Structure 1
């Protein structure tokens, strides 16, 4: 694992600790899948298409990829598949943060 990834994951771990300190353990329902969000599958398909189109025209951004992953997660009702989609979304978020850090690094 790169030093940059380790740094971002430490930041995330600190944020998780702060969340637990503030809210305690939370066991909320997932609230995902067509049952909770009737348009979720349509949104996931739309964001997937928008992401593909943006990259085909050379205009793809982290926003496109991140939103595609988030909306795919929101459309998923199966817990194992939801977990996999959330891992993908968070991994894209970590990668995005690393890119921000590279662009703003002052060393």
Structure 2
């Protein structure tokens, strides 16, 4: 793993993360602190959904047709299939990172 001091982010990434932090503040202001059960599982269905989502991403990537929705769907499916809190946390960080990357890609398309 790369040390934090070696990780550099662009000003654009920081702006997107600031927007995410502002949205979290709005959510807390509206709903208060939320403490729901995870609702994730290592059920057969969840595991199969994660395998299918991963296979779809690999298939699309091999054809040069990979899309953001397929990537994010894979990450979400992997999170939904995870019950171990540490592994679930890691998967959710990946979900958040892909969502931020997608926002950055949308912003790059703007004139």
TM-score calculated relative to the size of structure 1: 0.92
| Structure 1 stretches lacking a partner, 5+ long | none
Deviations 1:9-63 (A, max 9, x none): 011001000000000001100000135xx51111000000000000001100111
| Structure 2 stretches lacking a partner, 5+ long | 1-8
Q: Whole-Å Cα distance in 2 between the matches of residues 69 and 81 of structure 1?
A: 12
Q: Where does structure 1 differ by over 6 angstroms across 4 or more consecutive aligned residues?
A: none
Corresponding residue for residue 76 of structure 2: 70
Equivalent position SS for 1:77: coil
Residue number among 43, 46, 50 corresponding to 2:52 in the alignment: 46
* Residue 80 in structure 1 maps to residue 80 in structure 2: no
* Residue 17 in structure 1 maps to residue 25 in structure 2: yes
Q: Whole-Å Cα distance in 2 between the matches of residues 62 and 72 of structure 1?
A: 15
Corresponding residue for residue 96 of structure 2: 90
How many residues are treated as equivalent by the alignment? 103
Deviation at 1:64, TM superposition (A): 1.2
Calculate the aligned-residue CA RMSD, in Å. Answer: 1.0
Q: Whole-Å Cα distance in 2 between the matches of residues 84 and 94 of structure 1?
A: 15
